[in-house]
Structure 1
Amino acid sequence: MKTFVLFILFGLSAGQMFAGNIKIQLFNDKGSVMPFVDLSINGEFAATTDSSGVAVISDNDIAVGDTLSASCLGTEPARLVFTQTLKTQGSCDLVLQEKYYMLDEVEVLPNADMEPFFEKSIRNIFFFKRNGLLSAHFAITVQHHGQPSRRVEGSLTVENEVTGPGLERPFQYGAFHHPIRFTTRDDTTGLSKIMDAYIREALRGGTADVAAFLVDRWARHQMRKNRYDMRFDYLGEENGILRFRVLSTFKADKRFSIQSILSIDKESKLLQHSESRLISPPKSEKSVIYSRSRNWLLDADYVTFKHKSSPAVLLPKTIHSFSDDRSDGFSVEIDLTEIQVQVK
């Protein structure tokens, strides 16, 4: 009798746990679960899938007729209209169509983590973590709250100070924390703070964060150990270029996630191009960084130094960054070209 009563109580607890919630399971068209991917309801963020590709949404947050959608780099967006049938059954599946195809000679199992194959396919290169003066040509276009877009072009210089006097530890204030010095003939009235904040984010993402961490083996392992849950997918080969997707989510706050597509030369094992998306809540209502989603595309280049500790580092030759998912029409698009650095 005691065993029977305990079974009934457990069954009631499990049922209550999912009552009032909608369980969303996300797959790709190969049958693999898709972890750390954002789901949206009518274009607004709703939830992020966990390591099993599952997200739970309260049925108070979604109504019959709403559009549920998911998107991930390297896939076509998936959408469905939420129906009474789905609400009654309390669960549904979404399938993302991959844009790339698997190689026949590489065995890829559903839900397999391809990090070991990634490790073999890429040469270890340090990200840019030196003191120095970076210069570049910039172009920034800002669309602000429904107003006409404004474009500013010119050149910039900014100091990168990650070690030295006054710093208790390396990268205490992050990369490129000094003010950016702009030279331009265009009107920057009302744009100075936005230019400084967003171009700083573009530089950090392209040189010392996001894909740059994935190329540096030590940094990648530290990310996985201390800060992020990560999943590596192999997407295929085209013209001697291997493509991998890395999905990551911040352990301390699942609202932060990073999606990256890395294109690696099969022969040299060097990163050639990367596309990354960082999704995060706004820092605060008063933050200059307005959008939830920031994107980086970079063409990789490498500079060689005489220092034995890091003879070569990743330094992109171009960085393209954009943020355009604010419901009030705010967007920023940045192009950084002719990037050079003088190491101190």
Structure 2
Amino acid sequence: LDTETGEIAQLTDGRTRESGWAIWCEPHLRGIYNHLTALNVVTNDAFYFQDEEVRAANLITLENRHVCDIPGRISIGQTGLSPNGKAFAFIHADREHFTQGYSEREALQNMKRFEWEGGHQGWRNSVPCTISLIDTESGHIRDVIELDYHVHHVFYLDADRLLVNHPKDTHGMWIVNLDGSGVRTLRPEDEHGSIVHQVVTANGIYYEAVKRSDNGRENWFGRYDVATDTWDEVQMDGLGYVHTGFDPAGKFLFFENDDGGTHQILSAHHPHDLDRYELRVLKTLTPIQRGQRFHAHPFLAPNRKQLFYTEVIDGFSQVCALDVEDLVDLDEYW
């Protein structure tokens, strides 16, 4: 999608069955594996999964090439490219084991016998997976680490480390070196709860931590400093389910909020000053129908003028843009 002209070019013609992202999105789709594509900004290649192969489609030339095969495996998590564009990180599991495990989870949910508390973490512990790297030129695959539990996001924190969600038995984020060493949880669970979402920026890792109790949710926003292994957090009242917005520079504090009745994109001003703290509504969105498929996932454009997000319009999730040029560089955020 050309964000200036609106011109669309089709990059793939995949026909993969059951190609949705289980467990967080709609699993029963057709095409390529939904939500699991990543863009190599060095080469303009979009890396994606089709059946049991990895392919790359170039956004400029529209060339579509085979990268490598992953026989007997299935990609199960969001992916990331190295800063130099030479390695593609992904999460995969045994196809038969994962498919059977997810079918069992769905059956229990349909029977009203799947309890989120305990049931979700128990299910994760029944699904082993592997984090691997693919050489984007040769297609050679190298395993980084094998896990006896399910994870679903992997990003490059920097040139030498990967950032992964979640640790075993809980929510949060952890890192691992590219050789599989140095596994460590960043900002472990504490009295403010555990990390649910995060974005890696030039100004540290911004995240949302949630503490759940009989009284509902407590939402804490924080910034983790990778260099010093320290973090700073503020509580933000009146919020529901939150996705942290992505500003690559780490200056503009915005996020998606769904409180069960209202779905909005908000910006947070002066979060450290209770006398001036303010949540501003940037856009009220169509209510979420169900699941990740209908989330807005807002992010700031490289030109720092538009905020892109998705919203359900006429029954379909559409790509939308919001002009925020007057807000992005205010000295009112973190």
Return the index of the structure with the highest Cα Rg: 1
Q: TM-score w.r.t. structure 2 length?
A: 0.27
Name which structure has the greater RCO, CA cutoff 8 Å, separation 6+: 1
Q: TM-score w.r.t. structure 1 length?
A: 0.26
Between structures 1 and 2, the one with greater helix share:
1
